[in-house]
Amino acid sequence: MVTISRSELQGLLKSCPNSKLIEVLPETAYKEFHLRGAINIPLDDHFEEKTLKAIPDKKQTIIVYSLNFECKSSEQAIQRLRKAGYKNIYDYEPGKIDWKAAQLPIEIGLQRSNALEKQQGFLSFVE
């Protein structure tokens, strides 16, 4: 497993702009704040299935993070992704607490695609 620091993450995001950031915490934690551009795939029984749907290319560069050094969710997620066949995976072990403490860009609420899916689901229910 490759763990990366904040500065290494920044460099990776610049050199590989198509990389995917995954927060593996529950949706409630994701909504509080998350790294800008991150998607939320909680570490649950359907983690691999949800990841495959969101990121079908198993050669895609993926950066996984959770809360901080003490939270082992990102490490567990990486082990599961490797077993599922993903190759280019990095663990931003310091997590979102470190990112926010450095006053780097964060977002609050659901990612746009998730919010749009929920809105479309609601509209189809109403119609």
CATH at residue 68: 3.40.250.10
Going from the C-alpha of 61 to that of each of 87, 108, 115, 119, 120, the distances in angstroms are 8, 24, 24, 29, 29
More confident residue, 22 or 112: 22
How far apart are the C-alpha atoms of 80 and 61, rounded to whole Å? Answer: 15
* Contact call for residues 24 and 77 (beta carbons, < 8 A): yes
Q: How many helices (H) and strands (E) does the chain have?
A: 6, 7
pLDDT digits (tens, 9 = 90+) for 58-101: 999 999 999 998 889 999 999 999 999 999 999 999 999 999 99
**Residues spanned by the domain of 83:** 2-126
Q: Would you say residue 116 has pLDDT above 60?
A: no
Number of domains composing the chain: 1
Task: Supply the pLDDT for residue 111.
Answer: 59
